[in-house]
Amino acid sequence: MSALTSLTLKAALKGLADKSFSSVELTRAHVEAVEAARPLNAFVLETPEKALEMAAAADRRLAAGEAGPLEGAPLGIKDLFCTEGVRTTACSDILGNFVPTYESTVTSQLWRDGAVMLGKLNLDQFAMGSSNETSAFGPVINPWRKAGGNQQLTPGGSSGGSAASVAADLCLGATATDTGGSIRQPAAFTGTVGIKPTYGRCSRWGVVAFASSLDQAGPIAKTVEDAAILLKSMSGHDPKDSTSLDIAVPDYPSFVGKSVKGLKIGIPKEYRVDNMPPEIEALWQKGIAWLKEAGCEIVEVSLPHTKYALPAYYIVAPAEASSNLARYDGMRFGLRVEGANLTETYEKTRAAGFGAEVKRRILIGTYVLSHGYYDAYYVKALKVRRRIADDFDQAFQKVDALLTPTAPSAAFGLGENADDPVAMYLNDIFTVTVNLAGLPGMSIPAGVDVNGLPLGLQLIGRALDEGTLFSLGGAIEKAADFKAKPAKWW
Amino acid sequence: MAIDAATVRKVARLARIAEPEEKLESLAQELSGIMAWIEQLAEVDTDGVEPMTSAVAVALPLREDVVTEGGDAAKVLSNAPKSIGGFFVVPKVVE
């Protein structure tokens, strides 16, 4: 039933409401697509029985006229969200057999609204990575290939499973998380839409923590409107997350299609970096032209501390991670490797349970927080973080949103950046600033490169102004008319 | 600042991660490379800048100091590597 899996979320919801098909039919088509797509390694756990049960319940609510906003829509869940009774691993060995006894707030809101869970999606271990290669389950393979080639490409990371499964029509949308670009970069690499909302919009409760002052959940979807529908369900105040914002959630879908005439769009000159492929620069110029045609005014702006964002991030994020991941001690949950005494048990457990990149970041974090280096590194990075946020504040006095490329390249081959951590970190050069400042950012597929691989444009908004991003994203989507899909090889 | 093998040994001990002696040198090189790249932060003038500890400037909310949930030992223990009779079993700490 490829016709049902090729629907957008919006079209599928309409079909369900019109009784053109049932949720069980829609879900079965997706379950079959997931099974057929195992070579992509996008799912680390398939839950077909649960999906069909949830679909049957959704069909009963649809029949009774009690349908929620996502009633009957099959989704994929990044395996960083705790799901009650369903194994949740963060794609690590240390949580290899962890079965939560509770549900994350974000996923509970999706189920409240009628969505159906297809299974858990692969990611970089503890969301630390930009290529999905740090997953304990092995990397996700991007459904996209270079035209005429068969090299295996990364879907990006850390939400590689989310992006790949949406791009390959395995689910109607997916949850994802973004600490430095982990929603937007994979969306750009797979021709999908991804939005990281303002910090505090989506509850972090029940999401396995990486860097708590930066982590934020959001959707990856097929269209801007689909992303708006999903984000509306995922957002909202949660007393269980002390940083959750107690502010009403706007009706995001109503912003899609709104006129963007008269909006001022900033083009940050510092986002022109060395060695950026000319196609990305050209796509950026196209984006500028599309928004001009739609009636926006284009303004050059300066974000002078942009180049310091990644180094600041690689102090702040590992510092928070080293603290957050201290909980994995082999005592109360997760893996335990017995040693001769307590300390040895801790050390052996953590050595066996964490992958190389996670260990690397814990060591950096421990180092920058250790006695004698705390002020020189950690406090310095927090001050630079303030400078970066101030840059945005000043720019947003002049403009309503910013337009930049999402990533400095198209999807690259698996293994290509594996030997050089800093080269891998540079993938997030355009996205990480937004996390440090807590702002909303969205990636929209806008074109393809010379090899036929998708490229994304990023919109950055004022805090809490996701609505404007949905309007602008809708305008870019319409102008770009991006219809390319990966040729099915799996 | 270059990180040497002795520093890696110390930091790994602080982080409670067993790193084999033969890996310390390569880890030191890796971490030194990352820290050398991070050093560029020294260029930024941050005199008088308040450290940014939170992405949103909101006061932490308070709630009534009452029990909200609990009384479910079986759930709490359900993922324990070892438990007996409603307790976690952990290695001996005090000799």
> Which pLDDT tens digit goes with each residue over A126-158?
999 999 999 999 999 999 999 999 999 999 999
Asked if pLDDT for residue A1 goes beyond 50, the answer is no
To probe the interface with A, which of B10, B19, B44, B83 has the most A CB atoms within 10 Å?
Answer: B44
Q: Is the pTM of this model over 0.90?
A: yes
Dump pLDDT digits (tens) for A151-180. Answer: 999 999 999 999 999 999 999 999 999 999
Residue B50 has pLDDT above 50, yes or no: yes
- A285: Cβ contacts below 8 Å, ≥ 6 apart: none
Q: Does the distance separating the beta carbons of A198 and B31 come in below 8 Å?
A: no
pLDDT reported for residue B68: 87
Residue of A213, A342, A367 to mutate, testing the B interface (most B Cβ within 10 Å of its Cβ): A367
Does position B57 have pLDDT exceeding 80, yes or no?
Answer: no
- What's the pLDDT at B94? 79
Of B27, B51, B82, the CB nearest to A386: B51
User: How far does the CA of residue B15 sit from the closest CA of chain A (Å)?
Assistant: 6
Residues of A within 8 A of B52 (CB-CB) are 382-383, 385-386, 389, 436
Determine the average pLDDT of the residues in B82-90. Answer: 95
How confident is the model at residue A2, as a pLDDT?
63
Interface of A with B in 163-182 (CB under 8 A): none
**Per-residue pLDDT tens over the stretch A59-111:** 999 999 999 999 999 999 999 999 999 999 999 999 989 999 999 999 999 99
- Closest Cβ–Cβ partner in A213, A311, A438 for B40: A311
A341 touches chain B (CB under 8 A): yes
Which is it for strands B83-84 and B87-88: parallel, antiparallel or unpaired?
antiparallel
Rounded Cα distance, A392 and A433, in Å: 9
Q: Do B41 and A381 touch (CB under 8 A)?
A: yes
How do residues A452-464 score in pLDDT, each as one tens digit? 999 999 999 999 9
A344 and B CB contact within 8 Å: yes
- Whether residue A359 and residue B17 make contact (CB cut-off 8 A), yes or no, is yes
For A462-479, the pLDDT digits (tens) are 999 999 999 999 999 999
Whether A200 sits inside 8 A of B42 (CB atoms) is no
Nearest to B15 among A101, A362, A384 (CB): A362
Q: Does the structure show a pLDDT above 50 at B73?
A: yes
Q: Contact B56/A200, CB-based, under 8 Å?
A: yes
Q: Do A421 and B8 touch (CB under 8 A)?
A: no
Q: What are phi and psi of A330, to 5 degrees?
A: 75, 10
Q: Chain-wide mean pLDDT for chain A?
A: 97
Question: Residue A308: its chain B contacts at CB < 8 A?
Answer: 40-41, 43-44
Cα A260 to Cα A105: distance, rounded to the nearest angstrom: 33
Q: Which residues of A are catalytic?
A: 78, 158, 182
pLDDT of residue B93: 84
CA distance A445 to chain B (A): 27
Q: Do B91 and A311 touch (CB under 8 A)?
A: no
Chain B residue whose CA is closest to A426: B37
Mutate to test the interface with B, among A196, A212, A215, A384 (most CBs of B within 10 A): A384
Distance from CA of B52 to the nearest CA of A (A): 5
CB distance from A318 to chain B under 8 Å?
A: no
Nearest-by-CA chain B residue for A340: B91
Q: How many CB atoms lie within 10 A of CB B86?
A: 9
Q: Which two tokens stand for residue B57?
A: 């400037």
Residues of A in contact with B79 (CB under 8 A): 97-99, 101, 332-334
| Residues A278-318: tens digit of each pLDDT | 999 999 999 999 999 999 999 999 999 999 999 999 999 99
Is A343's Cβ below 8 Å from some Cβ in B? yes
Would you call B17 and A377 a contact, using CB atoms and an 8 Å cutoff?
no
Q: Do B79 and A99 touch (CB under 8 A)?
A: yes
Average pLDDT over residues B83-89: 95
B91·A342 Cβ contact <8 A: yes
Residue A338 has pLDDT above 50, yes or no: yes
Pairwise CA distance, residues A196 & A217, whole Å: 7
Cβ contact A363–B88 (<8 Å): no
Structure confidence at residue B1 (pLDDT): 62
Confidence of residue A328 (pLDDT cuts 50, 70, 90): very high
Contact B38 A377 (CB under 8 A): yes
Give me the pLDDT at residue A462, please. Answer: 98
What does each C-alpha distance from A73 to A24, A30, A57, B80 come to in angstroms? 10, 10, 12, 35
**Mutation for B interface: A341, A364, A390, most B CBs within 10 A:** A364
Tokens of A144: 């996209």
Identify all chain B residues contacting A356, using CB atoms and an 8 Å cutoff: none
